[in-house]
Amino acid sequence: MRSVLMVLAVVATAVLPGVSAATVQEDKAMLIEAVTGKDLPRIREIISAGAELEARDPQGRTALLLATHANAVEIAKALIAAGADVNAKDAIKDTPFLYAGAEGRTEILEAILATGKANLKDTNRYGGTALIPASHHGHPDAVRILLGTDIDIDHVNNLGWTALIEAVILGDGGPVYQEIVGLLVDAGAGNIPDREGVSPLDHARRNGFSELAARIEAGPRP
């Protein structure tokens, strides 16, 4: 009898880890599927059951990053409240924080910043902080939010460009970019030149963006 019990114990030890691993993988798949389907009640059930929050899809995107992509605010907030990693990188070095800033997902961005866990120094695949693509992509509200943090306003990315340069050379010089340039200038953005020695002011003048040039030249408002 004793030998039989010992055999059973060995078998149980060998089997249970496999069952546990399979269960974990199933939980991860369920969370990703629920987020993709925007099934908030199911997501809450899965979270309550103690599922692994850092489940990833084939592109390395976590549930929170997928929710941020979809601008699924309530889902993102539920995941953030449960402790999802706001700095988890995917295969192309995006994170929930970086993507929320870059694409103007302002409600999610504010929820992420409220945790106090966002890595303000983190950079995307181009070596830029969240502020740079937010400025480039024309999201003044996201720029305003980010400028309320300790983010480096004059960070230079792998192209040698700051947020101010990107707002000038990658924008259209219209009202949205005039607002963004004004926000950056008022926050103290420097007229830092690119690798060819061309400053944001010079770029604005070359592109015929007279309003942007005047705003940069005027400097911060009192």
Q: Is the dihedral of CA 77, 79, 82, 84 positive or negative?
A: negative
pLDDT-derived band at 3, boundaries 50, 70, 90 = very low
For position 45, which CATH number holds? 1.25.40.20
Question: Using an 8 Å Cβ cutoff, are 129 and 160 in contact?
Answer: no
Per residue in 174-207, pLDDT tens?
Answer: 999 999 999 999 999 999 999 999 999 999 999 9
pLDDT-derived band at 51, boundaries 50, 70, 90 = confident
Per residue in 145-171, pLDDT tens?
Answer: 999 999 999 999 999 999 999 999 999
Residue 130 and residue 112 share a domain: no
pTM for this entry: 0.88
Q: Which residue has the tokens 């192309």?
A: 92
Q: Is residue 185 part of a domain?
A: yes
Residue 20 and residue 114 share a domain: yes
Give the phi and the psi of residue 62 in degrees, each rounded to 5: -80, 170
End-to-end alpha carbon distance in the chain: 88
Residue 76 and residue 31 share a domain: yes
